[in-house]
Amino acid sequence: MLRVLQLDIKLNLMTASGRTAAPLEPGSLAPLFEDRLASALRHLTNLYERVSDTSFKVIVAGDVNAGKSSVVNALLRRTVVPVDQQPLTSTFLEVLDARLNDNIEEAHACEDRRIYDRLNEATFWRIPLRDLEETVAEWTGDEHSIIKVYARQADDDSALVHNDGVANLSVIDSPGLNTDSIKTFFLLARQEEIDVVVFVLNAENTLTLSGREFLEQASKEKAHLFFIVNRFEGIRAKDRCSRRILEQIREVSPKTYDEARDLVHWISPTRVRLHDDDAPDDWKDMERALRNFTLGRRARTKLEPAKIYLLNILADLRLLARMNRRDADQRLKQASDALEASRPGYEKLVESQRDDCTTADKETEAVGDHVRQLTRRRLRTVSESFEIHGGDPAWPGFTGMLGYVDAIRDAMLRAWEHEVGKCEQATLERVQHASARIATLGADTLTEPARTADLSRLFSKHHEQHRQLNVRIELWDLVEIRERIGIATAGLGSVAMIISNVFGYKSLLLNAAQVGSTVGLQGAKRWFLFSITLAGVGAAAFVIGDMQYAVHRKVARKIREHIREVGLIDQHADRVAKRAQAALRFSAQDLRERYQRAVEAERHQREQRAQDQLDAKERRRWFRDMARRAKELQELVDVVDCDDRKVSTLS
């Protein structure tokens, strides 16, 4: 349990929240501790000042009319404070060295000692020493009032009040004890930091209830008290009397009883002749004992409270350090556990990232290759079988030849376009399938859903133009190279041969009549005869070929040549492959990014935990150092010998 630092936390919590069981949040705790530490520091500063202060305060207490004022005067060897048979002293009188008041003897009556300032007349009023008795008799101050009496000291250095450069003592005469004055007494004791309480006991009277109550309370705060038992001379049964008194002292202050030889003195102040420097030896013995007790054992009166306070604070600090270290240990363990626990998940994530991204890339490549080959194969197939795609348009005769050729060509081109379209469709399906597959990659690891690629525009309008194929076929194209050379060398005469070559003689013969209808009978006859002649020259028999088939073949070949020259199959294969890969790369990239974000988030969290780990280690180290330092200090403070460790302070 905290000794110094705890009390205020409880109080603060009570006032702050109105209940005691307020949760102790570190955030709300810190300012309370800060506050408490600040006031502890202030207190330590006060204690330090007190320890380094050479002045001592002795207060003389006792029942009404016990002879307190007489003791004070006897110590001073002169009448300074008023003495009377009637109860007299009603306020505290502090007797100080006149040198503290520019060597002027006078009294300062002060309403409120907390604001007393010797140099500020607003805080007191002056009383000549000779009028002191009158003032003391008349003035009833309140709990804060005091009369500061500056008096020159007797030269005898055995007198208690002296200034030998080492210690500066002041003696306070106090009012007789009753319920009210006890309170006032402890209030003053708390404010003035009293070093020694001298209790004046009248041997002729028994201790009053107030006196007993006072002693009980005082011995709780100071283990040792100093007793002067007066009017002992007149007691006949001295042994019995002293036994009775010592027994009383033992009951209220056992420590004092243990050292009764030094701390209990049986002597009357009236035996001291005032205004005479000399005093009876036993009085002087008492004074020496009091001086020794006050000055010689300053450690006990001044150091002890500081020591106890310091030890308590250090014990508190060690406890706090221990608690905080334990907390840091716990945090360290939490952070380490969390880090360790998240490691397999993190490693798995990184591994799946690598695997899945590779898979996606491979899939992209594979789909590209696949559709490229598929497209290539299909287009090659269609281009190789153009002949069967040419359709079967009605033979229009020679004159409609061009239209006929165009019709065949168009049919073939349509077949081509259709096949290109089908390749695109197959690619689209393949891409859809692959894209869906990529989207499922990492589904069990990643929380972020996959973005769906928009495949509706994979082969959009823009691609229609790619499908279209324009191949112009001239009649001239229907003539083979070999034949063209013949035409060039043989002149027009070879035309019939060529034509017959192209369309076959059969068609030529069969269609002669139709030719005649358009070019004129005469001309037709001539063309026909000419051709016959030519044919007759070149061949023994007319081979009637299938003209339509020949046109199909020639057109198909022409288109095929065009396709080959342009490299159209590869172009299409590359185009669909590229499109497919581009579409799949979108999915792969999405996968990669989602993985990256997930890995990044996980890494960030791990870094955070690593940082927590470091912080906890740092905290642990710091609090270990703090505990070590507190322990070292404790040992240092502990060896300071203050004689009596249970002594505590009045303040």
Ligand X SMILES: Nc1nc2c(ncn2[C@@H]2O[C@H](COP(=O)(O)OP(=O)(O)OP(=O)(O)O)[C@@H](O)[C@H]2O)c(=O)[nH]1
Q: Percent helix, strand, coil in the chain (nearest 5)?
A: 65, 10, 25
Q: What's the rounded Cα separation, in Å, for the pair 234 and 351?
A: 105
In degrees and rounded to multiples of 5, residue 227 shows phi and psi of: -110, 135
One residue of 80, 83, 147, 197 binding ligand X per CB under 6 A = 83
Among 530, 367, 542, residue whose Cα is nearest residue 458: 367
Least distance in Å: CB of 277 to ligand X?
Answer: 20
In degrees and rounded to multiples of 5, residue 109 shows phi and psi of: -85, 125
Closer CB to Mg ion, residue 68 or residue 409? 68
Closer CB to ligand X, residue 65 or residue 531? 65
Least distance in Å: CB of 194 to ligand X?
Answer: 18
| Residues making contact with Mg ion (CB under 5 A) | 68-69, 89
Q: Which region among 57-65, 141-149, 422-430, 519-527 touches ligand X (by CB under 6 A)?
A: 57-65
Task: Kindly identify the residues of this chain, within the stretch 265-304, that bind ligand X according to CB under 6 A.
Answer: 268-270
Q: What's the rounded Cα separation, in Å, for the pair 136 and 79?
A: 14
Least distance in Å: CB of 61 to ligand X?
Answer: 9
66 binds, among Mg ion, ligand X, none (CB under 5 to 8 A by kind): ligand X
Least distance in Å: CB of 85 to Mg ion?
Answer: 11
14: Cβ contacts below 8 Å, ≥ 6 apart: 20
Contact 224, 289 (CB under 8 A): no
In degrees and rounded to multiples of 5, residue 427 shows phi and psi of: -60, -45
Name the residue with tokens 């358009």: 518
Q: Which region among 67-75, 313-321, 341-349, 453-461 touches ligand X (by CB under 6 A)?
A: 67-75
Among 198, 270, 204, residue whose Cα is nearest residue 232: 204
Distances from the Cα of 376 to the Cαs of 369, 384, 458, 565, 568, in angstroms? 10, 12, 19, 15, 10
Least distance in Å: CB of 624 to Mg ion?
Answer: 59
CA torsion through residues 510, 512, 513, 518, sign: positive
Pairing between β-strand 196-202 and β-strand 55-62 as defined by DSSP bridges = parallel
Contact 305, 642 (CB under 8 A): no
Binding status of residue 69 toward ligand X by CB under 6 A: yes
Closer CB to ligand X, residue 135 or residue 334? 135
Closer CB to ligand X, residue 231 or residue 302? 231
Contact 527, 564 (CB under 8 A): no
Closer CB to Mg ion, residue 69 or residue 494? 69
Least distance in Å: CB of 234 to ligand X?
Answer: 7
Closer CB to ligand X, residue 71 or residue 314? 71
Q: What's the rounded Cα separation, in Å, for the pair 215 and 152?
A: 32
62 binds, among Mg ion, ligand X, none (CB under 5 to 8 A by kind): ligand X
Closer CB to ligand X, residue 87 or residue 391? 87
One residue of 12, 153, 178, 230 binding ligand X per CB under 6 A = 230
Closer CB to ligand X, residue 73 or residue 435? 73
Closer CB to ligand X, residue 69 or residue 581? 69
Beta bridge partners of 202: 230
Least distance in Å: CB of 79 to Mg ion?
Answer: 12
CA torsion through residues 371, 374, 376, 378, sign: negative
Binding status of residue 178 toward ligand X by CB under 6 A: no
Residue 605, burial from CB neighbour count under 10 angstroms (0-12, 13-18, 19+): middle
Closer CB to ligand X, residue 226 or residue 528? 226
Binding status of residue 64 toward ligand X by CB under 6 A: yes
Least distance in Å: CB of 81 to ligand X?
Answer: 8
Contact 55, 167 (CB under 8 A): yes
CA angle 352, 353, 355 (to 5 degrees): 60
Task: Kindly identify the residues of this chain, within the stretch 84-123, that bind ligand X according to CB under 6 A.
Answer: 84-85, 87-89
Least distance in Å: CB of 313 to ligand X?
Answer: 40
Closer CB to ligand X, residue 83 or residue 407? 83
**Pattern of binders to ligand X over 252-271, x per CB under 6 A?**
----------------xxx-
CA 604 to chain centroid: 14
Q: What's the rounded Cα separation, in Å, for the pair 259 and 264?
A: 8
87 binds, among Mg ion, ligand X, none (CB under 5 to 8 A by kind): ligand X
365: Cβ contacts below 8 Å, ≥ 6 apart: 581
What's 531-580 look like in SS3?
HHHHHHHHCCCCCCCCHHHHHHHHHHHHHHHHHHHHCHHHHHHHHHHHHH
Least distance in Å: CB of 134 to Mg ion?
Answer: 14
Binding residue count for ligand X, defined by CB under 6 A: 20
**Pattern of binders to ligand X over 9-48, x per CB under 6 A?**
----------------------------------------
368 binds, among ligand X, Mg ion, none (CB under 5 to 8 A by kind): none
Q: Which region among 11-19, 63-71, 218-226, 540-548 touches ligand X (by CB under 6 A)?
A: 63-71
**Pattern of binders to ligand X over 137-176, x per CB under 6 A?**
---------------------------------------x
One residue of 77, 113, 231, 389 binding ligand X per CB under 6 A = 231
Beta bridge partners of 636: none
Q: SS3 of 92, please?
A: strand
Provide the b/e sequence for 82-96 (b: ≥16 CB within 10 Å).
bbeeeebbebbbbbb
Binding status of residue 67 toward ligand X by CB under 6 A: yes
Task: Kindly identify the residues of this chain, within the stretch 316-355, that bind ligand X according to CB under 6 A.
Answer: none
Least distance in Å: CB of 181 to ligand X?
Answer: 9
Closer CB to Mg ion, residue 92 or residue 386? 92
Closer CB to Mg ion, residue 75 or residue 313? 75
Residues that bind ligand X in the complex, under the rule CB under 6 A: 62, 64-70, 83-85, 87-89, 176, 230-231, 268-270
